[in-house]
Amino acid sequence: MRLQKKINSGKFAPSLDKDKDVSSGDIVMIASDVRTVETKQYGAKQVVDIKLPNDELRSLFLNQTSINNLVEKYGEDTANWMNKPAKCLIGITGTGKTMLILKG
């Protein structure tokens, strides 16, 4: 049996590459309601689709700081976040990984 790699199921946008797709200071648009995805390593995580400055869509796992920022700016109902702008803030964690925070 031969199998081919599937790039994108078409159901959701491809995952964001924080090192290539955005720069600190970029403004993205929230393009979907937040959905919860179960991951093996981290359990339940919140994911949202964002529209990049070049109009491409990407999926982004939201960290708690991003969630707090967006709740503060746009409220607790994530349906109200759609079509709202968010500023990308990029930093490096203590372990050397790239971290992206959205600021409404």
Query: Are β-strands 43-51 and 27-30 bridged in parallel, bridged antiparallel, or unpaired?
Result: antiparallel
In a domain, 12, yes or no: no
pLDDT tens figures, 29-52: 999 999 999 888 888 999 999 999
Tens digit of each residue's pLDDT, the chain (104 residues): 565 555 555 567 899 999 899 999 999 999 999 999 988 888 899 999 999 999 999 999 999 999 999 999 999 999 999 999 999 999 998 999 899 999 99
Structural domain containing residue 56? 27-103
In a domain, 66, yes or no: yes
Number of domains in the chain: 1
In a domain, 17, yes or no: no
In a domain, 21, yes or no: no
State the Cα–Cα distance between residues 62 and 45, nearest whole angstrom: 7
In a domain, 58, yes or no: yes
In a domain, 70, yes or no: yes
State the Cα–Cα distance between residues 33 and 50, nearest whole angstrom: 10
State the Cα–Cα distance between residues 19 and 78, nearest whole angstrom: 26
Q: Are 81 and 70 in contact (CB under 8 A)?
A: yes
In a domain, 60, yes or no: yes
pTM: 0.84
